[in-house]
A and B are shown apart, each in its own frame.
Chain A
Amino acid sequence: MQAKTRIATVSLSGCFGCHMSLLDIDDRILKLAELVEFDRSPINDFKDFQSRCAVGIVEGGCCNEDNVEVLESFRKNCDVLISVGECAITGGINSMRNNIPLKECLDEAYLKSPGVYNPLNKIPNDPEIPLLLNRVYPCHEVVKIDYFIPGCPPQADALWDVLVALLSGKAPVIAYKNHKYD
């Protein structure tokens, strides 16, 4: 039996909405399961790459050091990398902090904001908590990205059409109706 095409997915600084949209392909997910094998992905909860993948789907932008690390490993382990959704492509809602210095953001969140109970007056510093970047970066400013699927979230049909095209070796095209929102 021919090995199935391997796909990895990840949500960096996103809301998992793009992954939800992927599930929105409804019963076509059965067909997808026939075509591909999921590697590292929240869908099967694998935390590391099992082997090299043909396609990597990235939701969310990079707001902390772990995001960068994960994105780098996606770039190294996937032949084609797709930025999916507003956050991956532009930084999204998270990037609203980009005009405010990081120090002010942290101080406001953990020290100054009304209702904060922080008797030690310290910014949380557990090694498990990844360090924030000075601003939120869209994925293509961190690694090379091959394709972009816009939307917040992108429509299930858009995701499906792009995946099917890539899997069948065609140039992906998103139909106008699938990225028209008004």
Chain B
Amino acid sequence: MKQGTAHITANICNKFGNDRTRLMDIAIAVQERFGCVSHEAMEEIARAVGTQRVEVESLVTFYSFLSVKPQGKVVIRLCSDIVDWMKGYSEVAEAMARELGITMGETTPDGAITLTDTPCIGMSDQAPAALVNSVVVTHLTPERGRQLVRDLRRHLDPQQLVTMVGNGNNEHPLVRSMVRNNIRMRGPVHFAPFEPGKALLKAFELAPSDVISEIKESKLRGRGGAGFPTALKWELAANTPGEKRYVICNADEGEPGTFKDRVLLTECAEQLLEGMTIAGYAVGSDTGIIYLRAEYRYLMPYLQSKIEGRLKQGFLGRGILGKKGFNFDIRIQLGAGAYICGEETALISSCEGLRGDPKNRPPFPPQEGYLKRPTIVNNVETLCCVSRILLEGAKWFASIGSANTTGTKVLSISGDCRKPGVYEVPFGITTRELIELSEAENVGSLLIGGPCRQMIGQVRLDGQICYDDLATGGAIIIFNGARNKLEIAEHYLDFFIDESCGHCTPCRVGLTLLKNLVHKVISGTGEPADLDRMRDLSNFIINMSRCGLGQAAPNPVLGALEIFGDASGGFVAERKPGLLPEFDLSKAVIDAELRVGRQSKYV
């Protein structure tokens, strides 16, 4: 049996050319074959690709979709994002756990089904949702959860759970998913008709440097959230000497509450692939990589078929559309469940077959990125914009949106509103307008750009969605007035604590300390000084953390404190001198009392 494991593992490694940099694909394939990457398998992999076993173990234990211990044949990952909580996660989780006779995180004794939870899977507009292996199930209720478990018990085939398919390309035979697009507003950039190849021909009329100039003129800025000028990034990569350059599409939208890239991948795949090809032409690259988050694996066969289709049509491959000397190929790199990999340097690490650790900057990826070569990493939406800009012209694009933020933005709106879904709106739209569009009532607060950005209250409802005011990668989560803002902040702190890579102390330790403080205040034992401590600690973490995760994680806490303003006095009170309310002497001495057999004289 063990011999068999080694043999099969060796074959898998061989399939990926025994290439150390393809460790992600190897580990994912082994996980899929055996339900785990066992120590024996890790040893075999290390031998095959010529590395140390600890290197493989470090990768396997980093990603949440990989495991050393065997998992069930079917793994149910229930999404535990805050929107899912609001829509009934707890009841569904309890119903499924009870039906399975196990608790969260366990596998049934027969090794058939594992039940676990996972952060946002990009289905906030159809929550509560879950991944069953790679099949998405949405709009769960306790009853549907129980039925799902019963069905799985019978056939152990997640695909059979899809009894009704969603709309758009979710009906495509290679997708066949019950996911719905929920496109509530179609704009001119992404949801207008798109004819493959046309934008590419337009690009070929220009010299590569002129393509970059065109993008510059359009004032396109990165749609992932940071808003870095796309042309500047491309220019830097194009001007860095090197034999080989890379174009990476960041399709790892892990920011809780973001799901617009999922819809773009489903509906605008051609536009995306064409955008990547144009980017390759502009910066002088012949290789593109789409880093697809593990949660969207159900889209992989479809995207793969689109790539193959474009190869046949001559939109990809060698001498594209007869353009001598321009070759471009695209491969899909699957992720394995790590929020941090949405950060571009961590994403590059992951593509290189490493843990998703962020890298030090500088050098920036356009100077030294994937395999130390100049690399541009662009968001799905950014690359889709590129195709449209080439089609319609920079002037046309720049005429949409606000002064410094041109074009449209695809927003993912979810939470306490009647019409959650995807909205393509011009930049400069106000939060108030979004609330009206999504038919939200009694709004207490909003998370603009997800938890890593900012929480705003009533005061800022006239704020505009653009890089000069309220920047967002796409997520807008709406909370009604009854929701406790500090509880929202605590929920996201749990998320960030889980996703912290652990490399630097301010983030690894600081976030837990911050969570303890927030919890203390929520539980009613906080003092006014705790609020100052929360602010100080938040600023410390923001200033001292190594990468964007720690630098952003305290934002919901700061947002909540800002919304409360002076009203936060209601949560905290001065205490009488004496023991702290959170210190419980009777709990602290119970072990000794039991072992020694005498009661404490102080309790």
Contact = CB atoms under 8 A, between A and B. Distances in A.
Nearest to B587: A134
Interface in A60-105: 65, 68-69, 72, 75-76, 101-103
Contact of B575 (A102, A135, A144): A144
A174 to B, nearest CB: 18
Contact of B598 (A69, A125, A135): A125
A127 B575 CA distance: 32
A134 B589 contact: yes
B602 A102 contact: no
B601 interface: yes
A158 B588 CA distance: 33
Nearest to B603: A65
A16 B225 CA distance: 55
A143 B589 contact: no
B504 interface: no
A65 B527 CA distance: 25
A134 B595 CA distance: 11
B577 interface: yes
B589 A144 contact: no
B433 interface: no
B579 A68 contact: yes
A65 B589 contact: yes
A173 interface: no
B591 A75 contact: no
Given A65-B585, A65-B602, A69-B602, A143 B592 contact: no
B578 interface: yes
B322 interface: no
A1 B589 CA distance: 47
Interface string B573-598: 00101111011010111111111111
A133 interface: yes
Contact of B591 (A127, A134, A141): A134
B600 interface: yes
Contacts of A143: 577-580, 583
A132 interface: yes
A103 B591 CA distance: 7
A65 to B, nearest CB: 5
Contacts of B595: 102-103, 106, 123
Contacts of A106: 592, 595-596
A75 to B, nearest CB: 5
A38 interface: no
Contact of B592 (A69, A75, A76, A131): A131
B596 A131 contact: yes
Interface string B86-120: 00000000000000000000000000000000000
A155 B205 CA distance: 74
Interface string A110-136: 000000000000011101000111110
Contacts of B527: 144
Nearest to B590: A134
B577 A76 contact: yes
Nearest to A77: B577
Nearest to B527: A144
Contacts of B575: 144
A142 B595 CA distance: 23
A103 B593 CA distance: 10
Contacts of A125: 596-598
Interface in B511-545: 527
Nearest to B598: A125
A55 to B, nearest CB: 14
B583 A102 contact: no
A50 B597 CA distance: 35
B64 to A, nearest CB: 26
Given A75-B578, A123-B595, A131 B589 contact: yes
A103 B596 CA distance: 9
A109 B589 CA distance: 18
Given A65-B585, A141-B580, A142-B583, A132 B597 contact: no
Contacts of A135: 588
Nearest to B582: A141
Nearest to A81: B577
Contacts of A102: 591-592, 595
Given A68-B588, A76-B577, A141 B598 contact: no
A76 B575 CA distance: 12
A105 B587 CA distance: 18
Nearest to B576: A76
Contact of A123 (B579, B580, B596): B596
Contacts of B577: 75-76, 143-144
A134 B585 CA distance: 10
Nearest to A140: B580
Contact of B589 (A72, A101, A133, A141): A133
14 contacts: A68-B583, A76-B577, A102-B591, A103-B591, A123-B595, A124-B596, A131-B589, A131-B598, A134-B592, A137-B583, A142-B580, A143-B579, A143-B583, A144-B577
Interface of A: 65, 68-69, 72, 75-76, 101-103, 106, 123-125, 127, 131-135, 137, 141-144
Given A101-B591, A125-B596, A133-B589, 9 more contacts: A65-B589, A75-B578, A123-B596, A125-B598, A127-B601, A134-B588, A141-B582, A143-B577, A144-B575
- Cβ-closest 6 pairs across A and B: A131-B592, A102-B591, A133-B588, A134-B591, A132-B592, A125-B596
